[in-house]
Amino acid sequence: MTEHDCTVRELVDGTLATPAETLKPRLCDSDTGGDLHAQAATSADALEAAVAAASRVHTEESWTGLPLADRAAAVRRLAAELSVRADRLAAADSLDTGVPLTWTTALVGGRVGLLEQAAADLEAGWERTELTSAVGPADQWRLPWGPAAVLLPWNAPAPTVVTKTVDALLAGCPVVVKASEWAPHFSGPFAEAVQAAGLAAGLVQVVHGGREVGEALVTDPRVRAVSYTGGVAGGTEVARACAAQLKPADLELSGNNPVLALPDADPAEVAAEVAFGLQLLNGQVCVGPRRLVVPADRLDDHLAALDAALADVMLGRTDDPATTTGPLAHPGHRAHLERQVAAYAALGCDVRRYGTLPDGEGLFLQPTVVLADRGASLRDEVFGPVLLVRTYGDLDEAVASANDHAYGLVGYVFGADRDQARAVGRRLRAGLVTVNAVLRSGSDAPAVGSMWGASGLGTVGDGQGPAFFAGHRFVG
């Protein structure tokens, strides 16, 4: 990446600038471990200007007052400007997260492609449905809550900011995006695209900073809705702040996702899917498989299949097309994962690592399988390329083991008898349960699930993003 591509930018009331303040922690290049620069922070004055601008846009209806065709055209202009900068957005995410460029390119491209659907939904009048009744016509409206705050995660900032921004625009909300202090580099090309698209000043803004900036944004009464993606601790604080003002909160907080292999499951098929999910975004993805629960009498078969599926793991730089697993996002995250794996090893669990670490000082962690029957608990999520394996005797024990955690985002069931697998899937405590495949884009089946327990508040799946940013009003 060039120096220009690495520039962190804020966008406040239509003005593109470099954040005025810095934080003590410093960012590094995941590939090399080399120093980049200090984390950036938006000043209190600029943050106030951003919230005031969003409030003005909402009050004056600078966006919702436009004809639907004009709003759709603006979304298409934004899509075109993001497409021009897609390579830079992908490179920025690889720099910040360690995810191979092949993956970030595909993810960014896929999300930018969703803007055409949003434009079509606007043209179709997404916000209003006309109803008929015996006493005359009536209207069911979906109206924007008002200025919305979007707090981004560090593991996939560019795809997330595109998705949530488009969802907010479709619903009619001006949006203030707060970048993760650990992953800010998408902000340059993204803010440039917003400005070049000619959107109303204050409609889409980008700010930076740590907890203080996030807290100021979430607690501001002019902010009417908050969408947060990140860790449980941060999500809990957001929920507490939103509860004090009774404002809607959408919280996506990851999950400790089980993979339950039934006795008739093919170990090779299970291993192929699990190996894919284990390496997706270097394991730094909320829907990744975390715990594989297998029949005790088939453990050796499943371990042998995992050995075969992970034999071709290629650890390497983010810009190497051959890389299947890149470095982790930042030193603190790698150190945390290593401590978690070491704790299982200390309990006597067998730890198996795959692939060869590349030369140099990059933030690499080999994909790891832990035979965790000796582990006291599998309740804590391991947010990386680490799979915990536990055995079971009968199906009730398997379901109990799969559900033995505080989360409830996704679950996976594998079995030759698909009807039985679905029946077992209905017993898992998760909003989304898939059969014989890990979650990925391109499914032809519409799916909507709630986030249970520590996974957060709200729903995920087809059409759920815009729905959060809008309330309902019936007239008739």
Examine the pLDDT at 336 and tell me if it is beyond 90. Answer: yes
Domains and CATH numbers, the chain: 10-253+458-475 (3.40.605.10), 258-444 (3.40.309.10)
Examine the pLDDT at 465 and tell me if it is beyond 60. Answer: yes
Mind listing the pLDDT tens digit for each residue in 282-308?
999 999 999 999 999 999 999 999 999
Q: Where are the alpha helices (DSSP H) in 114-200?
A: 115-123, 157-171, 187-196
pLDDT of residue 126: 82
At position 25, the amino acid (one-letter code) is: P
Examine the pLDDT at 110 and tell me if it is beyond 70. Answer: yes
Which range among 177-181, 258-262, 358-362 shows the weakest confidence by mean pLDDT?
A: 358-362
Examine the pLDDT at 443 and tell me if it is beyond 70. Answer: no
At position 301, the amino acid (one-letter code) is: D
pLDDT of residue 290: 95
Examine the pLDDT at 346 and tell me if it is beyond 50. Answer: yes
Round to whole Å and give the CA distance between 336 and 470.
38
| pLDDT > 90: percent of the chain | 85
**Cα 436 to the center of its chain, rounded Å:** 23
pLDDT of residue 4: 39
CB 100 within 8 A of CB 114: no
What are the CB-based long-range contacts (under 8 Å, 24+) for 2-7?
4/188, 5/88, 5/91, 5/92, 5/185, 5/188, 5/189, 6/36, 6/92, 6/95, 6/185, 6/188, 7/185, 7/188
Round to whole Å and give the CA distance between 279 and 385.
6
Q: pLDDT tier at 151 (50, 70, 90 boundaries)?
A: very high
pLDDT of residue 3: 42
Q: Model-level pTM? A: 0.94
Mean pLDDT calculated for residue range 469-473: 93
Q: pLDDT tier at 442 (50, 70, 90 boundaries)?
A: very low
88 to 107, 112, 214: CA distances (angstroms): 13, 13, 26
Round to whole Å and give the CA distance between 406 and 465.
24
192: left (phi over 0), alpha (psi -120 to 50) or beta: alpha
Q: pLDDT tier at 451 (50, 70, 90 boundaries)?
A: confident
pLDDT of residue 445: 57
Which range among 23-27, 310-314, 444-448 shows the weakest confidence by mean pLDDT?
A: 444-448
**The two three-digit tokens of residue 168, written as one number:** 């907010």
Mean pLDDT calculated for residue range 305-328: 96
pLDDT of residue 128: 84
| CA-wise closest residue to 384 among 333, 435, 433, 350 | 333
Mean pLDDT calculated for residue range 66-90: 96
At position 177, the amino acid (one-letter code) is: V
206 to 110, 295, 374: CA distances (angstroms): 22, 49, 47
Would you call 308 exposed, middle or buried from its count of C-beta atoms within 10 A (0-12, 13-18, 19+)? Answer: middle
Round to whole Å and give the CA distance between 362 and 356.
13
pLDDT of residue 448: 83
pLDDT of residue 21: 97
**The two three-digit tokens of residue 116, written as one number:** 């055409």
Cross-strand bridge partners of residue 194: none
286 to 51, 113, 247, 250, 356: CA distances (angstroms): 30, 22, 25, 15, 25
Name the helix (H) or strand (E) containing 37: strand 35-41
pLDDT of residue 444: 52
Would you call 446 exposed, middle or buried from its count of C-beta atoms within 10 A (0-12, 13-18, 19+)? Answer: exposed
Round to whole Å and give the CA distance between 439 and 427.
18
384 to 63, 83, 96, 255, 286: CA distances (angstroms): 40, 30, 15, 12, 10
CB 308 within 8 A of CB 316: no
What does pLDDT average to over the chain? 93
CB 107 within 8 A of CB 159: yes
CB 365 within 8 A of CB 338: yes
**The two three-digit tokens of residue 460, written as one number:** 């995920």
**Could you tell me which residue, 131 or 317, shows the higher pLDDT?**
317
pLDDT of residue 450: 87
DSSP reduced 3-state for 145 = coil
**The two three-digit tokens of residue 112, written as one number:** 């930018």
The full length of the chain comes to 476
